[in-house]
A and B are shown apart, each in its own frame.
Chain A
């Protein structure tokens, strides 16, 4: 297990971040949503810390916790007063020691319901929330690890068994597949000894093999045409989403696409805002994002239409702006604005101990270097106008993308 310590006594608070190299792309067939369901099950108790004790003991000591599952990783974090650190570490070591063998049908059923309610609350009952359920399968081909959403399907969540849980724990929840950060107000010497005592006794099978064979990964996008789909939702205004497969995190072009997203939609002077919202008054709002992943990324543009605007017209207006960004370099001024926004963001995200712990672990997992922040920033400061144009021309292909429309369902305005 990799251990990263970051000492900072500015405030009396300490954060623990324990990340595992497993996420939704590691799930087996007909088990979508399992990695995230498993994250929930990590709180369901062990021999030493029975069901509910993990949270009760931690919150009783003045701490709190949460966890997050993505396509690539699962991170667990705990925040508490300095006096709680041994307890936080003990609780993390305990569940990594023997959570799996202690799994029961009751624990699984309880969290299955919680997760299905999470799906309802964060996707099904949210305006435009179904986009995230739909986009992965439209964008990535059958069999691709990113073909399904992290939350999974109700059907697969229902199908998960206790033996699935035990096997998943045995395979992925291994110290050799984990990275631990302690950050904030603590003594590194003491913490090192405590970590050694608690985590050193856990046996390891060695690092598991990532099922994704990078060598066999397709070079560019697997999309060969425009994939169109229209869905209905409980919304008042229609929305158009355009999505492309794009270079993976830290690959050439990834930082440029972050900057392009900013040029397109950050601030009123951005390309899409100025043109569609401010000048032509076709759109209510615009958004763009390079969603970077370990094996591929996605570049997504989303535009909500103003009432009465035909979606064909809206799409044509978006396309005109994208064509312009492919055919001509952005201006110096646009590039400077985008870069300065990124630079400020790099500092702003260092404000909390919890965020710093998470950042150190993210770099460790992504590039094997927790101190990668400056090199990461250099990717952005070194980007050029020509570089942005080249990436836009290569990635934002109008003939190889997903175009998803969300239109109001028949209940619009119903009461």
Chain B
């Protein structure tokens, strides 16, 4: 119903713009009682042309290896007296042993629960006393420890970061407490519909036992089986200087960083055993299409997603896919947002994302939609993705995505802390230090045909799964009518509850 309205408005207005000198048309479209013989000149003047911006080349970090064998990526920035640092290793939740999902995450979590000469509370107090912030984290592919601080406190802060990555204590009393908090977090997670959608989408897309299938923070069952000895072993095998990269962005020089590393991490040695090989899983293949439902009784909205495999980060086509994705679901004016939000009024926002992972990751379209419109929204979302996969971008979208990719790149490297974390993940994925520059060039040079090819190869929803987190009692009937066969029911941990897909 709303589709013709907006088209009509756009058409009328464009006609007026194209022919501003035609008095009859202006008189018609402006509701004034006494038409003037000629319209007065517009005081604002015509819309200014935006010329093409100069090309932007992202910074390439200065790469060097310290005496102790630690590789450093440095991007010097001296505009602010501020330094952001991230240490990454190429081991994340995809290396969790069977039945111990959540181990990489809990290992990262334990790094700052006491390290070097300080217990958990003393360490936190020391970080705060320097006005620093310290965060440890894990992704599917990597684990990280990040610290940002004012330049004047860099030296003592670096000691704390070094303690955390090289000298964690793994104290049993701290473990008991931190582990208990983690188990409770997993209980709490079940109440967040967007988190549940993300973890169920992964579980369904990759299937049982795939390294990317389980949540990074584990399931309520798997996390319970993790013991401190697992964490110690995982740390010793994965956190080692020959596998780590230190990324520094901000107000620090090579000489300063070298001295800090030599002094604080000189004693950090790698074990003689070979390091674990980075996991780069293959894509899971089907069965699809199918629809999976997670019940969330009486929820006012349903979280919906459409997921299929994407590309590995090292695939030369990945930056081109990321650019193609902008027109579908990466911008306010993207097709999904315009249709589901502006045209149909189903949602506050719809979009799509391409995972940036070492193995073949995911391509996911998503929205949180008004419960009563759940099935309609799934249908619209799938149709929009199918249409884009079939036709690829328009000429306008081709031009727009080129400029938008450039803009994203500038902002990616603007904030020191964001840049450091981004580069540390690139390093952990095994990408070279100049990858962002190569990728930017590939994305920039992609033609409309190349973008269309990627849309066709990587976005077709007939090879995808649909996930819905919403109130089953209200939405199961309309969802059934979409023709996906028998609906599979999963719980908030991603496990199958009942039901099998009809063959």
Contacts and interface: CB of A to CB of B under 8 A. Distances in A.
Interface stretch (B208-216, B259-267, B272-280, B398-406): B398-406
Q: How large is the interface on A (under 10, 10 to 19, 20 to 34, 35 or more residues)?
A: 35 or more
A62 B300 contact: no
Given A51-B9, A269-B125, A348-B148, A415 B333 contact: no
Interface stretch (B221-229, B379-387, B412-420, B432-440): B412-420
Contacts of B128: 266-267, 269, 337, 340-341
A117 interface: yes
A7 to B, nearest CB: 13
User: Max chain B CB contacts within 10 Å: which of A11, A122, A306, A351?
Assistant: A351
B301 A124 contact: yes
A186 B32 CA distance: 40
B332 A236 contact: no
A81 B192 contact: no
Interface in B1-55: 2, 5-6, 9-10, 12-14, 16-17, 30, 42-45, 47-54
A38 B423 CA distance: 40
B388 interface: no
B343 to A, nearest CB: 8
A109 B343 CA distance: 11
Contact of A353 (B12, B180, B414): B414
B125 A59 contact: no
A347 B81 contact: yes
B48 A81 contact: no
B164 to A, nearest CB: 14
A411 interface: yes
A106 B399 CA distance: 30
Given A121-B349, A267-B124, 6 more contacts: A62-B53, A277-B181, A278-B120, A336-B129, A337-B125, A341-B128
Interface string B178-190: 0011001101101
B235 interface: no
A193 interface: no
A344 B301 contact: no
A210 to B, nearest CB: 29
Contacts of B5: 106
A125 B301 contact: yes
Interface string B466-484: 0000000000000000000
A77 B43 CA distance: 24
Main secondary structure of the interface of B (DSSP, over half): mixed
Interface of B: 2, 5-6, 9-10, 12-14, 16-17, 30, 42-45, 47-54, 56, 79-82, 120-121, 124-125, 127-133, 148-150, 177, 180-181, 184-185, 187-188, 190-193, 295-301, 331-333, 338, 341-342, 345-349, 368-370, 396, 399-400, 403-404, 406-407, 410-411, 413-418, 491-492, 497
A181 interface: no
Contact of B53 (A45, A49, A81, A118): A81
Contacts of B192: 126-127
Contacts of A10: 79
A327 to B, nearest CB: 23
A97 B44 contact: yes
Nearest to A306: B184
